[in-house]
Amino acid sequence: MRLILLGPPGAGKGTQAQRLVQKHGIVQLSTGDMLRAAVAAETPIGLKAKDIMASGALVPDEVVVGIIADRIEEPDATNGFILDGFPRTVPQAEALDDLLKQKRLKLDAVIELRVNESALLERVETRVAQMRERGEAVRADDTPEVLSNRLASYRAQTEPLVHYYSDKRKLITIDGMMSIEEVTEAINKVLAALAEADSAKEAKKDAKASAKRASVRKTSAKAKKAPAKAAKAAKKTARKAAKATAKKVAKKAKKAAKSAKKTVKAVAKGRKKLAAKAKSRAAAPKKGKSVSKGRKVAKKAAKKRVKAAKRLTKRR
């Protein structure tokens, strides 16, 4: 879980940060503590910050971001962290977004503890008065005047972050004027709801990924079956084509046989006709010979009769 706590001085950020650390096993990262630790460890970024701080100048945002980048890589930040005192400005928030993106990390929520500034000033005045009555020393930075200046600085520099994170739908606003216990309970409820929403989102993502994998497997199975299916289809098409061709050939053969039969019949008929003609022609000469023979016989008989007549004439 990675969180940012926003709120003006005196809103109770430190108290709630410690409770979140204990509940979720995360670390609270203070820019001041991180700067001092980096300088003490003499890391490259720490040495750079040391030189800048020694000159009395403000540490640039890129140096602070570099220190945070190193710090969140440490083992105790594996479960998450709460950033305290950073970011203070919109450019710092943008630099933090870039850093988390590079490290493929997600900011879970920005919790704003909204308070009434007048009520805060009254609280400080009451506390200071009570401390003085008890004879206790009052810190120089724990007076109504100092608080008023810090609140003005917060409004000018840090309050724009409320709109920045609201636009990114990361902002959760809690009424900081409630009791400490009530504020803690409200924060825990919101974070539990976020965790549940994230779980549902992850479950949906997993289901989608599973469906996608199943689709890929199905597509792969189809692809594996495709050649066999294509071969089967081709075989079926070939059988169908062969059947159609055979049917067509059979039809043509039947037609050819019918035509041949018709031709044979016509030839037979023609032959029969020719045979009849031949027979007729063969019979015609015999008839003519018979007539000729008859004529010859008649002629011969006539000659005989003539001869007989002549003989009779001579006798007479």
Of 19, 114, 123, 127, the active-site residue reads 127
- Residues 63 and 99: their CA atoms lie apart, in Å, by 12
The model scores a pTM over 0.85: no
Q: What percent of the chain has pLDDT over 70?
A: 87
The residue extents of the domains of the chain are: 2-177
Rounded Cα distance between 91 and 106, Å, is 18
| Active-site pick, 36, 114, 150, 170 | 150
Q: Write down the catalytic residue from 2, 13, 50, 71.
A: 13
Q: Determine the Cα angle at 309 with ends 305 and 312, to 5°.
A: 140
Beta bridge partners of 4: 83, 110
Kindly report the number of other CB atoms within 10 A of residue 34's CB atom.
23
Query: Catalytic: 150?
Result: yes
DSSP 281-304: HHHHHHHHHHHHHHHHHHHHHHHH
Question: Over pLDDT 90: what percentage of the chain?
Answer: 27
What does the CA dihedral 144, 149, 150, 154 come to, rounded to 10 degrees? 130
E strand spans, the chain: 2-6, 27-30, 81-84, 109-114, 171-175
Q: Note the pLDDT tens digit of each residue in 228-244.
A: 777 787 778 777 777 77
* CA–CA separation, 112 and 11 (whole Å): 9
The CATH number of domain 2-177, selected from 3.60.15.10, 3.40.50.2300, 3.90.1150.10, 3.40.50.300: 3.40.50.300
pLDDT at 8: 87
pLDDT digits (tens, 9 = 90+) for 4-24: 999 888 888 889 999 999 999
Is 13 a residue of the active site? yes
| 36 vs 67: CA distance, rounded Å | 10
- Over the stretch 285-294, which tens digit does the pLDDT of each residue have? 544 455 566 6
Scanning the structure block, which residue is given the tokens 């704003």?
A: 112
Residue 63 has which token pair?
A: 């140096």
Q: What is the pLDDT of residues 89-101, one digit of tens each?
A: 999 999 999 999 9
Structure tokens at 236: 């079926």
Annotated catalytic residue 139: yes
Does 187 score more than 60 pLDDT? yes
Residue 136, helix vs strand vs coil: coil
- Candidate list 19, 88, 123, 170, residue with the active-site label: 88
Distances (CA, A) of 149 to 116, 152, 160, 201, 207: 15, 5, 17, 44, 53
Catalytically annotated residue among 134, 139, 281, 314: 139
